[in-house]
């Protein structure tokens, strides 16, 4: 079993605000991230896939397939968007880095497995850096 | 149990080509990596060893020993080489990042004086790396 990790970047705006909380609670939980017009980050996304090495190619997963899937499913959806306003998944879900990480996992889990007919490579982990000082990991549980 | 990681860098060239595929298949599968005269990378190798602390020294193993071992077993073989032509392991195996990581594992696994090899992490570029833990 070999684990292959590929790094991608995208930039997006968001605002952290929960309708389940009062104005004061939102302010106290999210601080500056609750500012009404939103703010943005340069996200760094690491996608790890795992599987045996295909003897014909020497690879776990062809990079073109991985790049194409991430581009189509994640980057086109999120890059240079306002997550709350432009992305359906976050109409009723706070676009914290945690939720974004889980959403990316769901988008890729299905697509990497369904379309990869060749072998048993699969998505192993999503790691999302929101800034240099905080990052989030999700492995599907 | 403590995990210790030592980093080394080496530069090498390679190209991806499977003689059992047609030129078109090779091109389609490997893209630019199939260019016949090869291309190169600055690889970053992280070798992680796991073991108990020696109570007399407070270390898992002597870092100098690990550095010397990595130089003798890996860098001497691969640094500033054309992997396909100059490293016997890749005479009939495509030197992908995956296969290089597995090969480095094999080179180091049985040679550690103390502790156990835990993981080989090999960066081909800052945006692409492979982990191999031996299974």
For domain A2-138, the CATH architecture is 2-Layer Sandwich (3.30)
Q: Which residues of B touch A53 (CB under 8 A)?
A: 96, 98-99, 102
How remote is the C-alpha of A74 from its chain's centroid?
A: 7
For residues A65 and A14, the answer to whether their CB atoms sit within 8 Å is no
User: Of B52, B71, B80, B109, which one is the catalytic site residue?
Assistant: B80
Single out the residue of A58, A63, A61 nearest to residue A50, CA to CA. A61
Which spans in chain B are helix H?
A: 23-30, 63-70, 76-78, 83-86, 97-109
Taking only the tens place, the pLDDT of each residue in A35-65 is: 999 999 999 999 999 999 988 899 999 899 9
**Cβ–Cβ gap B98/A59 under 8 Å:** yes
* Cβ-based neighbour number of residue B52 at 10 Å: 10
DSSP code, position B88: G
Taking only the tens place, the pLDDT of each residue in B58-68 is: 999 999 999 99
Enter the ipTM.
0.84
Bridge partners, A20 (sequence order): none
Taking only the tens place, the pLDDT of each residue in B80-126 is: 999 999 999 999 999 999 999 999 999 999 999 999 999 999 999 99
Indicate the pairing of strand A2-14 with strand A81-82.
Answer: parallel
User: Of A25, A39, A80, A137, which one is the catalytic site residue?
Assistant: A80
Q: Which residues of B touch A62 (CB under 8 A)?
A: 29
Indicate the pairing of strand A39-51 with strand B116-125.
Answer: unpaired
Phi, psi of B5 (to 5 degrees): -120, 130
What does the pLDDT average to over B38-64?
94
């Amino acid at each position: 079993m070999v684990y292959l990790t590929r790094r991608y970047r995208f930039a997006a705006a968001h605002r952290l605000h929960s309708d389940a909380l009062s104005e004061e609670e939102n302010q106290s939980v999210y601080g500056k991230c609750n500012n009404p017009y939103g703010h943005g980050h340069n996200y760094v996304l690491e996608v790890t896939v795992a599987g045996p090495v295909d003897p014909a190619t020497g690879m776990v997963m062809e990079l073109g397939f991985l790049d194409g899937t991430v581009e189509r499913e994640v980057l086109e959806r999120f890059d240079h968007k306002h997550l709350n306003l432009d992305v359906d998944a976050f109409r009723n879900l706070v676009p914290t880095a945690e939720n974004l990480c889980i959403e990316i996992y769901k988008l890729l889990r299905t697509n990497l497995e369904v379309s990869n007919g060749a072998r048993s490579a699969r998505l192993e982990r999503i790691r999302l850096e929101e800034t240099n000082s905080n990052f989030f990991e999700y492995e599907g549980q | 149990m403590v995990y210790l990681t030592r980093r080394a860098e080496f530069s090498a060239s390679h190209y991806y080509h499977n003689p059992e595929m047609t030129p078109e298949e090779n091109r389609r599968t490997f893209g630019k990596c199939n260019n016949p005269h090869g291309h190169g990378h600055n690889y970053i190798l992280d070798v992680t060893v796991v073991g108990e602390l020696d109570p007399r020294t407070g270390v898992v193993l002597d870092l100098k020993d690990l550095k010397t071992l990595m130089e003798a077993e890996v860098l001497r073989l691969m640094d500033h080489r054309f992997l396909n032509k100059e490293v016997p392991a890749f005479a009939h195996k495509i030197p992908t990042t995956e296969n290089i990581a597995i090969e480095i594992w094999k080179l180091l696994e049985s040679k550690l004086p103390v502790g156990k090899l835990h993981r080989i992490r090999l960066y081909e570029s800052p945006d692409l790396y492979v982990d191999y833990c031996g299974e």
